[in-house]
Amino acid sequence: MQLSIKGKQLDIGDALRTHVETSLERVLGKYFGDAIDARVTFSREAHLYRAVVFTHIGRNIMVEAHGEAVEPYPAFDSAAERLSKRLRRHKRFLRDHHREGQADAESLFGGAAAGSGPADEDQNRDETPNEGNEKEQPMIVAEMAEVPSLTVSEAVTRMDGSDLQAVMFRNSAHGGLNMIYRRHDGNIGWLDPRGNRGS
């Protein structure tokens, strides 16, 4: 596995580097043997350290996780724990949906939702605004991106392997634009608009 460990305006010592290498080898080896490559980036924002782990575990399969803490070691450990949960959920998804082709919607979302329910700690992100605080006007950020051609199950896998709340994709079954997203109830929503399909 090719491993890159960097600090943004932060010095990464040998002890922390060894800790990261040992932890990632253990986590990745437990679920997928050896990953193709992994990148770990440390940064500091005010009093918090942030660790972002990005791993490439197979063809078109990327998993990202992050953690924050007042020290770099617990920040990385938090990211590694989140990475472990995502890999476990992805492996369970692959086991439950091993047959090729696009699964029908009921069986697909029955299995996918089971791995992303409210009990999953990945849902405990700071995404809800603080009550009592006045909401600021959100900034609109334009992002240019290619829309990949995927099956619905591949799109779910891609979303589960990242911090994304939604994934837009071109449905390889009919060529139309589709979107999946995380619902507030912990399940995954799937939008497949009519009139949006290729001829």
Token pair, residue 43, equals 């940064």
Greater pLDDT, 183 or 15: 15
Encode pLDDT of 138-173 as tens digits.
545 456 678 889 999 888 888 877 777 888 999 998
Instruction: Calculate the CA 5 to chain-centre distance.
Output: 19
Greater pLDDT, 40 or 93: 40
Closest CA to 112 of 166, 160, 173: 160
pTM of the predicted protein model: 0.53
Sign of CA dihedral 169, 172, 177, 179: negative
Greater pLDDT, 194 or 117: 194
Encode pLDDT of 74-125 as tens digits.
999 999 999 888 888 877 777 766 544 444 444 444 444 333 333 344 434 3
CA distance 89 to 56: 16
Q: Could you tell me the domains of the chain?
A: 1-86 (3.30.160.100), 97-123+142-199 (3.30.505.50)
Please check whether residue 38 is in contact with residue 28, taking contact to mean a CB–CB distance below 8 angstroms.
yes
Please check whether residue 76 is in contact with residue 43, taking contact to mean a CB–CB distance below 8 angstroms.
no
CA distance 133 to 113: 32
For the chain, the average pLDDT equals 75
Polymer length of the chain = 199
pLDDT value of position 3: 87
Residue 126 confidence (pLDDT) above 50: no
Token pair, residue 149, equals 């051609």
DSSP 8-state assignment for residue 127: -
Residue 26 confidence (pLDDT) above 70: yes
pLDDT-above-70 percentage for the chain: 70
pLDDT value of position 34: 67
Residue 35 confidence (pLDDT) above 50: yes
